[in-house]
Structure 1
Amino acid sequence: MGQEQYIPTQQTQGGKFYLDPELNLYVKEVGQKLAAVSDRPDLPYEFVVLNNGVPNAWALPGGKIAINRGLLTELESEAQLAAVLSHEIVHAAAGHSQQQMQNQALISLGVGLAGFALSDNEWAGVIMGGATMGAQLIMARYSQGDELESDAYGMRYMARAGYDPSAAVELQEIFVRLSEGRESGFLQGLFASHPPSRKRVEENRLLAKELGTGGRTGRDTYQQKLSYLRKLQPAYEAEAEAARLASEGNFDQALGKINEAIAIEDEEAAFYALRGQIREAMGNTRQAAEDFDQATSLYPEMFSYQLYQGLNALKQNNLTLAKRSLTRANEVVPTSIAFLRLGDVALKQGNREEAARHYATAAKSEGEIAEEARQKLAQLTS
């Protein structure tokens, strides 16, 4: 299950942080070092850094683990990174997310494709088929027992790998600090699925004493590896502010902010994708097309950029590009909006059978998109 959902789940959570390959390699090396001394070293572990500013990390069954750049910037040492990754290794090996998803009623997040979403769940209610499973798995709230178990085993793995297990105590203290005074939307990330508590801090402190301190902390190495990401922080802060302003309808100010981000780092596809959305909302369809073209050029594998490009192309009646981009988006992460608009493309091209097939697929979803698809399907078949 984890392998099948790993790429789609990465993509709905921001996609890979591709600007710093060395940072990705570093996280992978730390993760594999811990996996090698775990109780399930045979699993095909994978580790990836995601381009998401929310402090979060998650694991899918079978050893598929991700950590957001937003959490990396909150950490201070390699040992703290090891505490995060070892904790997720336990979740991944034990299949905790799958168990919790089965034990609780899944929350209907109900967020449509409005754009400018500030939470982790921008695509909830739009993604279809198997792609929904990964989103449900990473949002499953772990029980206190699961968390304490993952802390305990994770700290033992840290000690085996030569890290100072007291970094796990520091990590929980960071989590408690981050969770205090944050808005509810922020808590949809790490703390929705990994609830922090003073009890976890104390339990970890007791275990750290038992295991003994004095292992590797790797503070200098960590700071060196994070230097480029920290240099980019002003750009990502400008992007976040642009998204907030756009969500409130302040498009002129939002455009100014995202331009600030692009001036700092002009190789970040996410910046162009957001600028394209802003320009689209302002009615500047042709300028938006240039931004979506740039985003897909920089990160062609990212489904959302292909989706934006396809929707924009359809608006301009560029049916060839619309079909190609929407199809590519669906190959990675199927969405109801892509199927709906592929139906529109097929209908414009005179292929009623293909249009009906796409509408029927979109109609299996929920909300306004599904209703529009059902209406168009009924018109075709009446």
Structure 2
Amino acid sequence: MRKSTILLAISFAFLAGCAVNPVTGKRQLMTVSTASEIQMGQQNYAPMQQSQGGEYDIDPELTRYVDGVGARLAAQSEVPLPYEFVVLNNSVPNAWALPGGKIAINRGLLTELESEAELAAVLGHEVVHAAARHTASQISRGMVLQGLVLATAVASSDSDYGNLAVGGAGLAAQLVTMKYGRDAELESDFYGMQYMSKAGYDPKGAVSLQETFVRLSEGRRTDWLSGLFASHPPSQERVNANRQTAMSLPAGGKTGEAEFQRAMQKTRATKPAYDAYDEGRKALSEKKTDEALALANKALGLFPDEAHFHALRGDVRLVADKYDMAITNYDRAVERRNEFFYYHLQRGLARNELGQTDGAVVDLEKSIELLPTAPAHYALGGIARARGNMPEAIKHYKVVAGAGGDYGKAATTELVRLELPTNPGAYVLRRCDPDANGKLVVSVKNDTAVQITGVQVVVQYADETGRQQQVRHDVLGQIPPGQIASVNTGLGPYTAGANCPVTVVAAQVAE
């Protein structure tokens, strides 16, 4: 395939995939339909909330307040999407929008705002991201680039809380952590301020918000760098642009300082408890278990109703192998918030350590129902294997094997142990070559991450009468991961490049 033909094909794909941006009126690359965007948002909204700390259900009045502000802004949008707004129980300052109008703001960002107008600036910005189809546009560009890479490869050869999520649940995290480009950010600022003004808010709230973000970015706070600023980088350019936009809009409008402070009263009052909890999580990640337990107790002393605090105390007990005490703490977390995956996951792991496998399975399956994770699937795979249910074990391990990381590696090893004896050809690759005398040499490669042994191959060949025969050969010794071993069959003549008449029929993990 000629390069010019490829470029022409890509050009036609680009033109065919162009659509008018419903907010700006400009043409942009778009291969994702609005219906697909809405479906994408609906499918990923719940798992994304689970992975980011769950819904902030301690203060339902605040959620209703935020939803009301969001609804007033969404009503100004040119695109009638099924908008939803949720407050998440997460201290990291962040807000995000999934395709199709599914929007979230973290408790940690709300505590940094000062007025309803600033809240409107945040939510209006996210509404524009959804309405202007920014994420879908990024996905579309990715699809075209993938197509270009694939086509070029063909042309050149002309031949043949929160990182635990697995499977489809991992897609949501990728969607909301995409870094928006400069144009998308300026566009969302500009049209978000238009929405603010139309909804009766003072657009200067967007100016003060960006000024605060620039100041915070200069302080290099890690929670901001890993949160909002990772996908929404602030800049002085955005501040200046917002000032110009504010000057072009009608002066005045609602700032809503009093209303916002009233809505935030409970959340601000409990902030010291969440601060202690966050410090406790950090201490536990650094293996400072005594400090983590003290901070969990401090958080519970300040605000005993928060389930996350009980779970932190459970996690400290779990890493100390105090499984009965951990289960008690997770019980208290589940009593307060039953529909959060993490408490069920951790209680299931603790029950499994105590041999309470029936209860562990119930908890782990409940956690997967809420958010599929590698630890849950891996533990269920181990339970199924211990019970002799190999197909069930293989099913769980295969989910985890594709996730990467430590769990992915461990699951891949378990899959090899289970499948290698019955399906050696999937893990041991074979190749045929002639030796100097034209005799067939079979090479096998260990394509696993573990050492293997007992490799046997069967060679099919025609004898001097033309009848098909089979002969089995042992590949002697152990083969390390990624290494190759060979056996000379003595059969021939064999011509290089001819069909390789060899099947790998046996192999096992070297214990």
- Which residue matches 1:299? 337
Is residue 18 from structure 1 mapped to residue 36 from structure 2 by the alignment? no
- Which residue matches 2:75? 36
Separation in 2, partners of 1:360, 1:82: 44
Greater radius of gyration (CA): 2
Using the TM superposition, give the Cα deviation of residue 187 of structure 1 relative to its aligned residue in structure 2, in angstroms. 0.5
| Pairing partner for 1:96 from 134, 139, 144 | 134
- Which residue matches 1:263? 301
Is residue 288 from structure 1 mapped to residue 323 from structure 2 by the alignment? no
Using the TM superposition, give the Cα deviation of residue 184 of structure 1 relative to its aligned residue in structure 2, in angstroms. 4.4
Query: What is the number of residues matched between the two proteins?
Result: 364
- Which residue matches 1:313? 351
Paired residue type of 1:224: R
8 A contact 1:35–1:86 mirrored in 2: yes
- Which residue matches 1:9? 48
8 A contact 2:99–2:130 mirrored in 1: yes
Mean CA deviation greater in 276-285 or 17-26: 276-285
Using the TM superposition, give the Cα deviation of residue 356 of structure 1 relative to its aligned residue in structure 2, in angstroms. 2.3
Using the TM superposition, give the Cα deviation of residue 161 of structure 1 relative to its aligned residue in structure 2, in angstroms. 0.6
> Structure 1 residue runs of 4+, over 4 Å off?
101-105
- Which residue matches 1:272? 310
Larger fraction in strand: 2
Does the residue aligned with 2:78 lie in a helix, a strand or coil? Answer: coil
Is residue 74 from structure 1 mapped to residue 130 from structure 2 by the alignment? no
Distance 1:298-1:202 versus aligned 2 partners, 3 A rule: same
- Which residue matches 2:206? 168
Mean CA deviation greater in 324-333 or 182-191: 182-191
8 A contact 1:292–1:308 mirrored in 2: yes
- Which residue matches 1:142? 180
Does the residue aligned with 1:353 lie in a helix, a strand or coil? Answer: helix
Using the TM superposition, give the Cα deviation of residue 86 of structure 1 relative to its aligned residue in structure 2, in angstroms. 0.5
Does the residue aligned with 2:97 lie in a helix, a strand or coil? Answer: strand
Using the TM superposition, give the Cα deviation of residue 315 of structure 1 relative to its aligned residue in structure 2, in angstroms. 0.7
Distance 1:310-1:196 versus aligned 2 partners, 3 A rule: same
Separation in 2, partners of 1:186, 1:249: 24
Paired residue type of 2:385: L
Is residue 83 from structure 1 mapped to residue 121 from structure 2 by the alignment? yes
Q: Deviations over 1:116-153 (max 9, x none)?
A: xxxxxx552x3111111110111111111101100111
Separation in 2, partners of 1:223, 1:187: 26
| Pairing partner for 1:154 from 189, 192, 198 | 192
Paired residue type of 2:51: T
Separation in 2, partners of 1:199, 1:377: 52
Larger fraction in helix: 1
Paired residue type of 2:112: E
Using the TM superposition, give the Cα deviation of residue 254 of structure 1 relative to its aligned residue in structure 2, in angstroms. 1.2
Indicate the RMSD between aligned Cα atoms, in angstroms. 1.6
Separation in 2, partners of 1:343, 1:4: 26
- Which residue matches 2:410? 372
Does the residue aligned with 1:47 lie in a helix, a strand or coil? Answer: strand
Using the TM superposition, give the Cα deviation of residue 331 of structure 1 relative to its aligned residue in structure 2, in angstroms. 1.4
TM-score of the two chains, using structure 1 as the length reference: 0.92
8 A contact 1:43–1:62 mirrored in 2: yes
| 5+ long unaligned stretches in structure 1 | 106-121
Separation in 2, partners of 1:131, 1:102: 20
| Pairing partner for 1:198 from 236, 246, 256 | 236
Mean CA deviation greater in 94-103 or 67-76: 94-103
Mean CA deviation greater in 350-359 or 157-166: 350-359
Is residue 219 from structure 1 mapped to residue 249 from structure 2 by the alignment? no
Q: Deviations over 1:292-323 (max 9, x none)?
A: 11112211111122111111111111111111
Does the residue aligned with 1:375 lie in a helix, a strand or coil? Answer: helix
Is residue 181 from structure 1 mapped to residue 205 from structure 2 by the alignment? no
Separation in 2, partners of 1:99, 1:193: 15
- Which residue matches 1:48? 86
- Which residue matches 2:13? none
Separation in 2, partners of 1:135, 1:295: 25
Separation in 2, partners of 1:182, 1:269: 30
8 A contact 2:96–2:103 mirrored in 1: yes
Distance 1:348-1:263 versus aligned 2 partners, 3 A rule: same
Does the residue aligned with 2:270 lie in a helix, a strand or coil? Answer: helix
Using the TM superposition, give the Cα deviation of residue 80 of structure 1 relative to its aligned residue in structure 2, in angstroms. 0.7
Separation in 2, partners of 1:90, 1:362: 36
Separation in 2, partners of 1:100, 1:197: 21
Using the TM superposition, give the Cα deviation of residue 351 of structure 1 relative to its aligned residue in structure 2, in angstroms. 2.3
Using the TM superposition, give the Cα deviation of residue 177 of structure 1 relative to its aligned residue in structure 2, in angstroms. 1.6
Separation in 2, partners of 1:210, 1:123: 40
Separation in 1, partners of 2:73, 2:247: 20
TM-score of the two chains, using structure 2 as the length reference: 0.69
Distance 1:320-1:256 versus aligned 2 partners, 3 A rule: same
- Which residue matches 2:366? 328
8 A contact 1:100–1:141 mirrored in 2: no
Separation in 2, partners of 1:202, 1:364: 45
Separation in 1, partners of 2:311, 2:408: 25
